[in-house]
Amino acid sequence: MTATPDPAAIEAAVHAYVRALNAGDLDAVVALYADDASVEDPVGAAPQVGRDAIRAFYRRSLSVPLVVALEGPVRVAGSECAFAFSVSLTWEGKAMTIRPIDTFRFDGSGRIAQMRAFFGPGSVSAG
């Protein structure tokens, strides 16, 4: 039986994720993930599986400065959590904000085993 991470540790990992994204710290983001983790961003896209694929995904994501902020509490249930947040950036000269809801599932060692990002066109606004 694998251990379920402490809810406080899960919430701390989400805050570390937000800090790393704001800092553009690729290594800190990737360090939060298990070696065999998957990232599905957005949901429906082909999952990025394993640290190399996840590193490449976040390298692209962090190629522009991001301003990331939680928009409400982190909801923790067992070894999973969900959180709403905003990501503001400038892409091709246009300022935009994306408001996804991400879910993380953690493994027994407290690393992210799966990330899924829920958003679509209605979650993206100018400015």
**Which residues are designated catalytic?**
17, 41
How far from 22 is each of 17, 19, 61, 78, 110, CA to CA, in Å?
Answer: 9, 5, 11, 27, 22
5 closest CA partner among 77, 54, 72: 77
Q: Determine the 3-state secondary structure of 26 from DSSP.
A: helix
Instruction: Please tell me whether residue 87 adopts helix, strand or coil conformation.
Output: strand
Q: What is the DSSP letter of 92?
A: T
